[in-house]
Structure 1
Amino acid sequence: MSDLYLVKKGIYATLAYALIMSVTAVAAKQVQTQIAVPVLVFWQSLFCIVILIPQMWGKWQRRPLHIVKAHFLRSLGGFLGFLFYYWALNHIPIVEASLLRSCAPLCVPFVVLLMHRVFIPKSRWLPLIIGFIGVALVINPTPEHFNPWHIIGLLSAVGLAFSMVTTRVLSSHVSSQETMIVYFAFSALLSLPLALVQGESLALPADTWLWVLVVAVTLYVGMHLYTLAYTYAPASVVSPVSYIGIVFAGFWGWVIWGHVPDWLAISGTVLIFISVLLSARLNRQKT
């Protein structure tokens, strides 16, 4: 297969991933009017574990300590990322929550600095500054408009950034199925006591089962497509294309809830996209 053919497959996988994950967000926002976030996280994790167990049967191996630590950080980051994202979906428009979560690439250099003591090159600061100006426009932190749930949405990006960095570490040592099943098991274990502490029942009302199933299935398919996208194409291609998910989220938010982004949110989105394009160009020049 030619490199061009693989890149095209990566782009198609990314487009499919963005569309599928926008459906996940719609279903999650809808079902959370009836069940608590930790309950949703528990059931989506349990479903994905059931799907992954046959794929991992007989393939478990003893892992060295540094891989165990990477699994822990990847799972914790992924769990917090989804928890904060779902909480944000309850209180801000779906397009803004999705946009803030998609800011994870902007957070990656700071995560790398924190984890590996690798300082951010000077060439990276311009796209980072542009990107965070865009974030500020979306959040609009003025006394009249500030909504703390925007900060929760941004924290979901930080969790996702930890997940991205540690996934790269794990990818050269373990299979994607192992990474996913460890994450979902960790997520189920953490969401269970969180739900119980909040006094929530794990029993799902009959009319929520279909929504929870949609969340779980689309999440699993989306993560599989995400893995395929990064297998076929470099991150410098996948990352900018994945921002089409913001368009999908905006469409669903407009059709279902009547949310129309204001000019500040639109301007912030444009700046964030420009920052991602600049970062992708720097990555391409580096490679």
Structure 2
Amino acid sequence: MTSDKPLLGIFLMISFCAVIPFGDALIKLMSASVPIMMVLLFRFTAQSLLLLPYVLFKKGRAWLRYSRRIYFLLAIRTITHAAGIVGMYFGLKYMPLADTVAIAFIFPLLMLLVSHFYLGEHVGPHRLITSIIGFVGTLMVVQPNFVAVGLNALWPIFVALTFVVFMMVTRKMTREIDPVSIQTLSGFMAVITLLFCMLVLDDRIWDGFAWVMPQGVQWVYLIGSGIIGTFAHLLFTVALRYAPSATLAPMQYLEIPFATFIGWIIFSDLPNFLATLGIAVTVGAGLYIIYREQRAPGKEASEAV
């Protein structure tokens, strides 16, 4: 079992937060012209092919002999991962990048509760208060107006719910399987399932099942999304190997300022004064967690705050 190294886990999670919005931006660019199932298929195919050589070299055939329990957890992880991408796809289709990401950030508060009651991880008052402050900053960034966007505002909330399960299952698995094997097996599971659905189901049932040959720049978006998503979630999985989810949950708030910046660069979405203030609050909450971890370098993360 890998011992907790909270500062390493925090660094990896911050790296994830900096990288993943680029993948979200590519998904937003594709949402108007590429069916969601094609996006998912390319995403998980890239993940499988990029990581398979390493797994075969490092593990041989041993990675095929995991227990049924592990494959069950892999299946849950794969389903929630794909469902989260679907939710993000439709959220980004109807809302700005920063707004979509910010609404989805109800999940760290949910994750803290799940970590305490289900995973048995200690959630001290500092973590809880910091997460609440970070969530308040999130509300200041997004300035949610569900009347304006209708039911489509619920897509990021759906992403949050799926991500809680995804994070919880990943945390359990990283104590038994190396992160690259998790990513590779999840990728193959997703590809097989998606191919079956697209072959059996008709786009007359739902246009998301349509087979559409990418054209021009769409190839760049699809391949780029697959590479970025694979690398980002590898960072995420390794981070959960070294730090408790309760420690890493507040770090996820740092994705909001990164997403806001990328949304500004690519889509010219500029935050107003209140949103800028919210970003500062969010970043401050994340930095405070790092400060708390540095004050207790010799303790387990579950005892640090």
TM over 0.5: yes
TM-score between the two structures when normalised by the length of structure 2: 0.74
The 3 A distance-change label for structure 1 pair 17 and 141 is closer
For the 8 Å contact 2:112–2:128, the answer to whether it is kept is no
Structure 2 residue 175 is the aligned partner of structure 1 residue 158? no
Structure 2 residue 109 is the aligned partner of structure 1 residue 106? yes
The 3 A distance-change label for structure 1 pair 8 and 175 is closer
Aligned to 1:62: 65
Q: Which amino acid aligns with 1:201?
A: W
Q: Which amino acid aligns with 2:24?
A: A
Supply the distance in 1 between the matched residues of 2:131 and 2:12 (Cα, whole angstroms). Answer: 27
Supply the distance in 2 between the matched residues of 1:210 and 1:78 (Cα, whole angstroms). Answer: 22
Cα drift, residue 86 of structure 1 = 1.9
Structure 1 vs Structure 2 CA RMSD: 3.7
Structure 2 residue 48 is the aligned partner of structure 1 residue 49? yes
Supply the distance in 1 between the matched residues of 2:131 and 2:10 (Cα, whole angstroms). Answer: 24
Supply the distance in 1 between the matched residues of 2:9 and 2:114 (Cα, whole angstroms). Answer: 26
Supply the distance in 2 between the matched residues of 1:233 and 1:221 (Cα, whole angstroms). Answer: 19
Q: Which amino acid aligns with 1:222?
A: A
Q: Which amino acid aligns with 2:21?
A: S
Cα drift, residue 121 of structure 1 = 6.2
Q: What are the equivalent positions in structure 2 for 1:48-197 lying under 5 Å apart?
A: 48-57=47-56, 58-112=61-115, 116=118, 123=125, 126-127=129-130, 129-138=132-141, 140=143, 145=148, 147-192=150-195, 193=197, 196=203, 197=205
Supply the distance in 2 between the matched residues of 1:39 and 1:101 (Cα, whole angstroms). Answer: 23
SS of residue paired to 2:32: coil
Structure 2 residue 227 is the aligned partner of structure 1 residue 217? yes
SS of residue paired to 2:63: coil
SS of residue paired to 1:60: helix
1:223-277 Cα shifts (integer Å, max 9, x gaps): 2333444556676776555544322321221122221123454455455556656
Q: What are the equivalent positions in structure 2 for 1:265-284 lying under 5 Å apart?
A: 265-270=275-280, 272-273=282-283, 281=292, 284=301
SS of residue paired to 1:254: helix
More deviation, 240-249/229-238: 229-238
For the 8 Å contact 1:139–1:146, the answer to whether it is kept is no
Cα drift, residue 44 of structure 1 = 1.1
Unaligned runs of 5+ in 2: 294-299
Supply the distance in 1 between the matched residues of 2:77 and 2:88 (Cα, whole angstroms). Answer: 16
For the 8 Å contact 1:17–1:222, the answer to whether it is kept is yes
SS of residue paired to 1:84: helix
Q: Which amino acid aligns with 2:303?
A: K
TM-score between the two structures when normalised by the length of structure 1: 0.78
1:59-88 Cα shifts (integer Å, max 9, x gaps): 334333432332222222211112111221
Aligned to 1:286: 303
Q: Which amino acid aligns with 1:172?
A: R
More deviation, 33-42/229-238: 229-238
For the 8 Å contact 1:140–1:146, the answer to whether it is kept is no
Aligned to 2:217: 207
The 3 A distance-change label for structure 1 pair 230 and 70 is closer
SS of residue paired to 2:62: coil
Aligned to 2:261: 251
